A = this chain, B = another copy of it.
């Protein structure tokens, strides 16, 4: 139970921990695209981009539909929900910290 969602989080966070893969997701956020179109902005071989795409696919963040010789990739954002949810649990921590900081600044300013 726990293990399954754990591995999903592993794959999601691992997938978005690389700048190229984040950029690819951003591109796909604008519109679906083929592999060569996605690879175009990067100074990198096509197989390298292909590997990144496979990692995104394994994380469930990208859907591939093969149409003739073109592979059309589309963003699949749903798996990002649990990843965001896990992080949201820490929002209170940094907000609390910032509140403390504000308090300290106010206190210092008063005297």
Contacts and interface: CB of A to CB of B under 8 A. Distances in A.
A interface majority secondary structure: helix
Interface string A82-104: 01101111110110011000000
Interface in A50-90: 75, 77-78, 80-81, 83-84, 86-90
Interface size bracket, A side:
20 to 34
Given A9-B22, A80-B93, 6 more contacts: A6-B19, A12-B17, A14-B14, A22-B86, A83-B87, A84-B87
Interface of A: 6, 9-10, 12-14, 16-19, 22, 25, 29, 75, 77-78, 80-81, 83-84, 86-91, 93-94, 97-98
